[in-house]
A = this chain, B = another copy of it.
Amino acid sequence: MPPVRPRPGRERPARRTLSREAIADAAMAILEREGLDALTMRGVAAALGTGPASLYAHVEDKEDLISICVDRAVAEVEMPEPDPARWQEQVKAYARSMREVLVRHGNLARATMGMIPTGPGALASVEWLLGLLREAGLPDRVIAYAADLLPLYVSAVAFEEGLWAAGTPEEMEAYVGAIREHFAGLPAERYPHLVAMVPELMRVEGDERFEFGLDVIVAGIAALAAK
């Protein structure tokens, strides 16, 4: 009669098997907590209790891993039932949701720029936007360029906002103060327009800034579509 043994291979708790999904989960957690700059292959591996080399059995390289994260994030963008009569408002709501998602995921925006989306999340997102604009009756050529311009704008804004959010609030405060002083001290004879505009420029604020660009772009698309 064989001696009683603890269940075979269970002397220590089984290591969670690595997988594309588990790696992406760990990466997303780091992104949300610390942002894109803190996302390293070594960090992801450490979070999974292994070494960086182990990741390469499931993931092509760091770029590949980031593209998985981007696709997951983009899938979170809200896509309400298209209502062609309200396409301008729906396009804006879509852009607002995308901005929120990109900022929340530790400035993934830097990665979305220049990326041609091929993952299911991004494809569903593009499909939604194209559908809305087509049902609204915009010309195909305008739709093609608009569907390219809109995410570009949102990504650019989110990218910048991610950079600014990198520092602590105190550093941020100090930086803005230094900028303000620098601009206030400029010679009016050399930069008359700039000096005259300093108060107005200093009033520029994140949300309003985003909404202004959105207004401009949606109004511009509507104008070009009507031509």
Contacts and interface: CB of A to CB of B under 8 A. Distances in A.
B152 A157 contact: yes
A101 B117 CA distance: 28
A35 B221 CA distance: 34
A134 interface: yes
Contacts of A155: 156
A179 B145 CA distance: 17
B160 A130 contact: no
A14 interface: no
A130 to B, nearest CB: 4
B156 A204 contact: no
Contacts of A149: 212-213, 216
A141 B213 CA distance: 13
Specify how many copies of this chain sit in the oligomer: 2
A187 to B, nearest CB: 10
A191 B224 contact: no
A35 to B, nearest CB: 13
Interface string A157-188: 10110011000000000000001001000100
Contacts of A16: none
18 contacts: A113-B159, A113-B160, A113-B163, A114-B163, A140-B197, A141-B200, A144-B204, A145-B204, A146-B216, A147-B197, A148-B204, A148-B209, A152-B160, A215-B224, A216-B221, A216-B223, A218-B220, A220-B223
Interface of A: 113-114, 116, 118, 123, 126-127, 130-131, 134, 140-141, 143-149, 152-153, 155-157, 159-160, 163-164, 179, 182, 186, 191-194, 196-197, 200-201, 203-204, 208-209, 212-213, 215-221, 223-224
